[in-house]
Structure 1
Amino acid sequence: MSSSSSESLAELHWQHDLLGSIEVGLAVLDHQYNVQVWNQFMENHSGVLPSDIREKCLFDFFPEIEKDWFKAKAESVFNLNSAAFIIWEQRPYLFKFATNRPITSASDTMYQNITLFPLASLSDKVEQICLVVYDVTDEAINKKAIEGLNKKLEHISRVDGLTGLYNRRYWEEQFEREYKRLKRSGQEASVLMLDIDHFKKVNDTHGHPAGDYIIQTLAKIIQTAIRETDIAGRYGGEEFALLLPYTNGENARIVGERIRKLAERFVPVYEEKEIPFTVSIGICEFNASFDTHMGWLEKADQALYQSKESGRNTVTLI
């Protein structure tokens, strides 16, 4: 064997070793999207041998690749002689490969970052592009887990643990935001304040766990009586606040009466004991003359006080 042939074989050998040892996928495509190079990473994860895919169209082997989208991405690399990138946040994967750790991983599919870079000829014309496939499954799963945890923490910070309604702090934030919007738009909206009549007697007679159960029961009644666009919160103790956007006072009174009647008719049973209860409700429709959102809320609280003074189990629109 001549020395030049030996050198060629040696060069092919180290190139093969290099392509096989790196922990990224490499695929070289010509302008017809036929595969020219297919390294060991791509073979291992796809199950497709280099000898089977070489000089064959990539799309014939991987129907999950959106052909028009990928061609548009690749054409910019061919025509502009500059790299392009695909990150997993935009598209979880290009090739639908199984994850390296199917038992311990939280994902069945490998998340991938992809780099497409041009391979210019001696004439500087881009006749081939190289796809580099990075396995970023661990990074993606960790980031998604952190995002999920942050969402849970955000939810916990907004929600009252006993009732599942918004807590006072978050409800007031939403209420103030809606007030500012109404000041600009002049649209209709109403706010309701309500609490459980003689609640102290419930606690004294049946105990605080029974009182908590009654509070939870009223929260469920409220949720069944209002729309998804309405904003309900536990304002404190046995007191609740409701914001009804796009609702005038008379329509808010209908909602208030619905809640009052449901509470009156439903008799909760706690530890085999019936604990009937009623609620008093105060309502105030938005008026542009209110200087602050709390001034609006105080009017609803005054209406609630009137309901209490007039015998309870009453709805008052002020």
Structure 2
Amino acid sequence: MNQMNLADFHLTLQVMDNIDAGVVILDRNYTVMAWNTFMQAYSGINADRIIGRNLFDVVEDLPIEWLKNKIKSTFKLRMRSFTGWEDRPQIFNFQNFSPISGGSSLMYQNMTLTPLKSLSGEYSHICMTITDVSDIAKNKTHLRESNEQLTHLSMTDRLTQLYNRGHWESCLLEEFERCRQLQQPATLVMFDIDHFKKVNDTHGHIAGDGVIRTVASLLRRTKRQSDIAGRYGGEEFGVILPNTTAEMGLYFTERLRKRVEKAAVAVDVRSINVTISLGVSEWHSGFRTYEAWLENADNALYESKQNGRNQTTVSNVIIPESELAILS
């Protein structure tokens, strides 16, 4: 190697050692040919301990099979490949010491694999570049979490932590359309707290809020994971029971009704007992809109209240002749 080539090589080594990224050069047998200052600092492995040795024999906790397959694929395709932190947060198990990471100990990494040609023109080596993207990952993760939280807040009732009316009604519309397309059963339950105005007038609105929260908690414990519960407004609630007949819905409502009847809401030194009235309506092909289904369940709820409260009424679906004419 002449003097000019040696000078160029010396300059290249200085750049590689001072670049703010990890640089590792491997041959086809995964023997380490270069290991820059970044890799030494974060791995704790000096260059003289690893150069000339197999990468996987020296460095622990590497995704061995996955990384070997990536390297083999890069050699085969003879083109650069890239892996982002969102696909695999880490390649090397490095700790993050940067203050911008906000205390995160995990160094998020991007990796680029570049096939290198020898003087003979053969692709004989791989250059692995490891970039610390912890600050980007942290900011993007924070943004994603914030957006998820905002989405959750936009569809959640603050008092009960159930779905709010707007989101719950959109779920009802989706279930209505699903029933129409698949002709599968679903049941809608509407219920409210009996004599709730009296609770507010007698015990105050704070006690009333406590009653609503208790009923909502009992509802969450009684429903299945697939059931969709929401606060419809005030003391009224709605529950969508997918793949459920009215008979099965009655079993659910009676369990809920009895749990509410036995429960007591503690307010200061007092204890408040309440009951609920419920209406059950199974989806029917005669319903032209989800509002008609909702109205049918509400009518059944009204019937429960007219008949003495603290009970469930299952609707007998009767389609008006005017709607039957339209359907035919």
Normalised-by-shorter TM-score class: over 0.9
Q: Spell out, residue by residue over 1:143-172, the C-alpha distance to the aligned partner (whole angstroms, 9 max, x if none).
A: 011111111111111111101111111111
State the partner residue of 2:69. 72
SS in 1 for 2:48: helix
CA distance 1:216–1:76, change in 2 (3 Å)? same
State the partner residue of 1:310. 307
- 1:82-93 to 2 correspondence within 5 Å? 82-93=79-90
Shift of 1:21: 1.4
- Contact preservation (8 Å) 2:82, 2:111: yes
Letter in 2 for 1:279: I
Structure-2 separation of matches of 1:114 and 1:177: 43
- 1:63-212 to 2 correspondence within 5 Å? 63-101=60-98, 105-212=102-209
- Range that drifts further, 247-256 or 8-17: 8-17
Letter in 1 for 2:280: I
State the partner residue of 1:17. 14
1:244 matched to 2:241? The reply is yes
Structure-1 separation of matches of 2:62 and 2:176: 49
Q: What runs of 5+ residues in structure 1 fail to find an aligned partner?
A: none
Q: TM-score scaled by structure 1?
A: 0.95
State the partner residue of 2:322. none
Shift of 1:62: 2.2
State the partner residue of 1:227. 224
State the partner residue of 1:292. 289
Structure-1 separation of matches of 2:122 and 2:263: 79
State the partner residue of 1:273. 270
- 1:27-38 to 2 correspondence within 5 Å? 27-38=24-35
Structure-2 separation of matches of 1:104 and 1:185: 50
Aligned length: 315
Q: What runs of 5+ residues in structure 2 fail to find an aligned partner?
A: 316-328
Q: TM-score scaled by structure 2?
A: 0.92
Give the CA RMSD over aligned residues: 1.6
State the partner residue of 2:59. 62
- Range that drifts further, 32-41 or 262-271: 262-271
SS in 2 for 1:130: strand
Shift of 1:179: 1.0
Letter in 2 for 1:28: I
Choose from 30, 45, 51 the match for 1:48: 45
- Contact preservation (8 Å) 2:101, 2:138: no
Structure-1 separation of matches of 2:50 and 2:175: 60
Shift of 1:257: 1.2
